[in-house]
Amino acid sequence: MNCYCCSTLPYSQCCEPLHSGLALPKSAEALMRSRYCAYVLKNAEYILDTYSKLEQAHHSVEDISAFADSCKFLRLEIVDSSHNVVEFKAFYCVGHTVGILHERSNFELEGERWKYKDGELFSHPEMKLSRNDPCPCKSGKKFKQCHLKS
């Protein structure tokens, strides 16, 4: 199975070494992917830890966990990626409603460690899916047999 960040590698060779602290992300995109992956796995400590020092003060493990628990993440799509900017779309669902978190995020290096600094959000209308629609995670299964039930 590929990593939860939708890369072509297994979790053990992608985000797991970053989550366990065995390796540091080599790029802003790698950090972004590992943060998305941490949301899927509800690893709030990792998300808090990878905010920039200034941002960390505005977040807590409780807030991050509450957000991660409020929806199911379906899929990550990288729209654009450069040295310190990554634009992405994270698809999520709450019940039958599917939304897109579309952000252009800025990252910065603190010493050797990439950190999330801030970002600009783009809004998208939410979509209502019915049980028999294809699941937006692109598994090829029907919504009711995939993320609607899991």
Which residues contact Zn ion by CB under 5 A?
A: 3, 5, 7, 14-15, 33, 37, 135, 137, 139, 146-147
Note the Cα 129 to chain centre separation in Å. Answer: 21
Helix segments in 41-107, DSSP class H: 44-49, 53-56, 61-70
Q: Closest approach of Cβ 110 to Zn ion, in Å? A: 21
Q: Closest approach of Cβ 62 to Zn ion, in Å? A: 25
| Residues 101, 31: Cα–Cα separation, whole Å | 17
**Helices H, strands E: what count in the chain?**
5, 5
Contact, 114 vs 30, CB < 8 A? yes
Residues 6+ apart with CB under 8 A from 82: 28
Q: Closest approach of Cβ 122 to Zn ion, in Å? A: 23
When the beta carbons of 64 and 93 are compared against Zn ion, the nearer one is 93
Contact, 84 vs 147, CB < 8 A? no
Q: Closest approach of Cβ 1 to Zn ion, in Å? A: 11
Q: Closest approach of Cβ 104 to Zn ion, in Å? A: 20
The phi, psi pair for 63, rounded to 5°, reads -60, -45
